[in-house]
Chain A
Amino acid sequence: MWTWFHRLASPPHFYRLAERWLPWVGVAAAGLLAWGWIGGLVFAPPDYQQKDAFRIIYVHVPTAAASLSLYTMMAVAGAVALIWRMKLAECVLVATAPVGAGMTVVALITGMLWGKPMWGTYWVWDARLTSELVLLFLYLGVIGLQQAFEDARAAARACALLAIVGVVNVPIVKYSVEWWNSLHQTSTILKLGKPTITADMAVPLYAALAGTFLLCAYAILRRVQNELLWRERRTGWVAELL
């Protein structure tokens, strides 16, 4: 039953698997992002209050969601790497950090650009914004720690420990808008009951969300492939491949 799991951990097997998935993931990401962004930026009706400024959600919400999900994934990969000493999980951990950091930067910048016309300021020191900034620092810390080591495996295990300790920040970011009085609004789409967003606006948003996650998957798979090639550069299967 677990053979697929063990086979997945084998670098040459995973490399070939990723090679087979990548075109599909790439095409799906491009298609969904095109649907979400064209639908959201051109066809969705303007908001009754924010007019066209609300359209930033088609970038801001997907990247912010990805920044949190990727950190969680990085910590899970770290736990797998520590418990089973699985090389592939180490590669996933190392590959996820820069992608997650990029998503966090985009979420912060788009939020600031929206904040200026809507709140009258680019930045406020409230719970949601501050904890998202701390998330960026945690990503940068993992990247910095990884680059300080000479040995790739020791680096990945150290990063795994740091990522696991830092994961306490994820629920703080997610629930900061409910626990504290934040200027940032609460979630519109991910809640129980009737959504408070019309379908014309919501459907492109879901497409943009799925597209962004697939784009991250594409970037991470490519980075994992590179990491595998570099780590296994002295082995037969890499020599055969290149």
Chain B
Amino acid sequence: MSAVAALLRREAWLAARSRSDWLMPPFFLVVVVTLFGLGAEPNDPRLARFAPAILWVANLLAALLTLERLFRADHEDGTLEQMVLSPLPLYLVAACKLLSHWLLTGLPLVLLSAPLGAMLGLDTAAVVALVAGLVLGTPCISAVGGFVAALTVGLPRAGLLLPVLVLPLIVPVVIFGAGAVRSAQQGLPVDAPLYFLAAILAVCVTLVPWVCSAALRNAVD
């Protein structure tokens, strides 16, 4: 348990020392959503209909920006090898890295999405559905993205490869997440898509740390 706390504390320290790492994704999200607002006609009511897709895709892209670096620094300075060699089970290390990624990039994006949704013309029920969906969906993005980051760590073209591999795997999360917001906009119940997201999250939390640790082991072999 103390090892887990030490790993999480290390991630927090690293984040505190390089602020741009975790300040850039929220800034990116704001700029992308603003550009959609400016690119459309001023005060176009149709913008609210596209808001679920815009916000979900912007969230996904903002998270992708940081994922490439998730294991890269650790791989370059040899920390990753020490983690693989340490007596701590590697899936626990992987789980800590993924959890810290969500806490440092996923959570701020979720919180920021609520006011951005209101800016795009979502009503209160839709904003609630958006935030609930993002709370369940962004950890899945961190988990699947972290797995792919572990697969591609150390590759010269990882930055290009990562989005191409993550996006098809994350399609269901975007479908159900944006679907929940659309249901709320039409006054329909939102629990079915949210249950689907929760089920995907349960699968991600239980299985991804294991495949992620297998990918890390392959990377340092």
Is A165 a contact of B161 with CB atoms below 8 Å?
A: no
Is B169 a contact of A154 with CB atoms below 8 Å?
A: no
Alpha-carbon separation in the docked complex, A90 to B70 (Å) = 28
CB contacts (< 8 Å) of B151 on chain A: these are 145, 158, 161-162
Is A162 a contact of B155 with CB atoms below 8 Å?
A: no
Alpha-carbon separation in the docked complex, A154 to B167 (Å) = 23
Contact of A158 among B144, B168, B218 (CB under 8 A): B218
A contact residues, range: 20 to 34
Comparing A106-114, A134-142, A223-231, the segment that makes contact with chain B is A134-142
Q: Does A166 contact B (CB under 8 A)?
A: yes
Write the nearest CB–CB distance from A94 to chain B, whole angstroms. 15
Is B157 a contact of A148 with CB atoms below 8 Å?
A: yes
CB contacts (< 8 Å) of A134 on chain B: these are 168, 171
Alpha-carbon separation in the docked complex, A145 to B144 (Å) = 16
Is B211 a contact of A161 with CB atoms below 8 Å?
A: yes
Q: Does B132 contact A (CB under 8 A)?
A: no
Q: Does A21 contact B (CB under 8 A)?
A: no
B contact residues, range: 20 to 34
Contact string, A127-150, partner B, CB cutoff 8 A, digits 1/0?
000100010011011001100110
Is B167 a contact of A137 with CB atoms below 8 Å?
A: yes
Contact of B168 among A138, A145, A149, A154 (CB under 8 A): A138
Alpha-carbon separation in the docked complex, A140 to B165 (Å) = 9
Q: Does A55 contact B (CB under 8 A)?
A: no
Q: Does A82 contact B (CB under 8 A)?
A: yes
Q: Does B8 contact A (CB under 8 A)?
A: no
Alpha-carbon separation in the docked complex, A6 to B155 (Å) = 33
Which of chain A's residues has its CB closest to B147's CB?
A: A165
CB contacts (< 8 Å) of B152 on chain A: these are 145, 148, 158
Interface residues of chain A, those whose CB is within 8 Å of chain B, are 82, 130, 134, 137-138, 140-141, 144-145, 148-149, 154, 157-158, 161-162, 164-166, 169, 172
Instruction: Please name 22 pairs of A and B residues whose Cβ atoms are closer than 8 Å in the assembled complex, sorted by A.
Output: A82-B214, A130-B171, A134-B168, A141-B164, A141-B165, A141-B168, A144-B161, A145-B151, A145-B161, A148-B158, A149-B155, A154-B218, A154-B219, A158-B152, A161-B151, A161-B211, A161-B214, A162-B148, A162-B151, A162-B165, A166-B169, A172-B172
